[in-house]
Amino acid sequence: MALYKSYPKNGETCKVTFELPAEATKGVKKVALVGDFNNWNHDATILARNKEGLFSATVVLKQGHEYQFRYLMDDSRWENDWAADKYLPSTYGNADNSVVIV
């Protein structure tokens, strides 16, 4: 798993690319990026899969903020990002959320 950040010269936003390698998604058909930046909507940000099996999506986020997120695989399994900037306890159940800081 990886997070790539690109800061445009405008100083207001950051393009963040979220990637999950094939070995982390073996047998998975669909991955959704779900977080506070898309109101935890399961259908708002679906990761595209390339021919090597890597899932990825890029979102534009406002700089100077921390965003909590998780991956939802095949609408049933939640996963955190191994490359997250930090983790915070979720308000739902005994789980942590991944955090990206931009």
pLDDT at 74 over 90: yes
Q: And the tokens for 36?
A: 């506070």
pLDDT digits (tens, 9 = 90+) for 12-49: 999 999 999 988 899 999 999 999 999 999 999 999 99
- What is the structure's pLDDT at 13? 96
- Which domain range does residue 42 map to? 2-101
Q: Predicted confidence band at 60 (pLDDT cuts at 50, 70, 90)?
A: very high
Contact 100, 61 (CB under 8 A): yes
CATH number of the domain enclosing 64: 2.60.40.10
Q: Output the DSSP codes for 25-66.
A: STT---EEEEEGGGTT-TTT-BPEE-TTS-EEEEEEEESS-E
Total count of domains within the chain:
1
pLDDT-derived band at 94, boundaries 50, 70, 90: confident
